[in-house]
Amino acid sequence: MLVPSSQSNSSPLQNQHYHLNKYHCLKPGVPLQKTTLTARKAREKMSDWGPVFVAVMLFILLTPGLLIQVPGHQRFIEFGNFKTSGVSILVHSIVYFALSCIFLLAVGVHIAARDGYGRHKNRRKNYTDFIATKMVDWGPVLIGVVLFVVLTPGLLFQIPGNSKQVEFGSLKTNGMAIAVHTLIFFAVYSILILAAHVHIYTG
């Protein structure tokens, strides 16, 4: 397809935007794989803090022993006991996975931040084109679940501990440890999702 002469002197960014629109029209002869790859590149030009925000909030709210523990040590539901157990971590991990799927995959919570790539209107258009594709990114969900299990205070380790600076497998926690583990969760999750761009696409 020939580009009109009025667009021949346009900038490379405008040409890229033109090709993005053409690919996403899904006209005959345009490969779907090329459409998907182009949309993926456009998506990576924006910083989406939505998964990070959702993951950190769920980590804080669902950490066993802080607000709630299911099941508890004495009752089925206990509040603010700062204790945990293997069964409660399993239950809370399942709840974390379910809520992550709802917010990130079904609802699609996105917080797009500006970056240094081109004009904001073009980035917004590229981001909308990516969301319009039928690919499902399980990366933020699965990474969040794994980090939730590994970084739950009291399961593998706890910083700081109740009696020592670092404790292993104590199955107890405290407010300071939850704050420290939340910061670690935020840092590792942000690096994997925003910096390393770890994605698991299906569909």
CA atoms within 13 A on the CB side of 153: 29
Task: Name which residue leads in pLDDT, 112 or 12.
Answer: 112
pTM as predicted: 0.71
Q: Is 113 in contact with 46 (CB distance < 8 Å)?
A: yes
In order of 3, 19, 29, 142, 164, the CA distances from 153 in angstroms are 59, 49, 54, 19, 14
What pLDDT score was predicted for residue 111?
Answer: 87
Cα–Cα distance, 76 to 72 (Å, whole number): 5
Domain ranges of the chain: 47-113+134-202
- Of 71-75, 120-124, 140-144, the one with minimum mean pLDDT is 120-124
What pLDDT score was predicted for residue 5?
Answer: 46
* 3-state secondary structure (DSSP) of residue 139: helix
The mean pLDDT value for 83-99 works out to 96
What pLDDT score was predicted for residue 39?
Answer: 53
Instruction: Give exposure, 98-113, as e/b (b: 16+ Cβ within 10 Å).
Output: ebbeebbeeeeeeebe
The mean pLDDT value for 144-155 works out to 97
pLDDT band at 202, cuts 50/70/90? confident
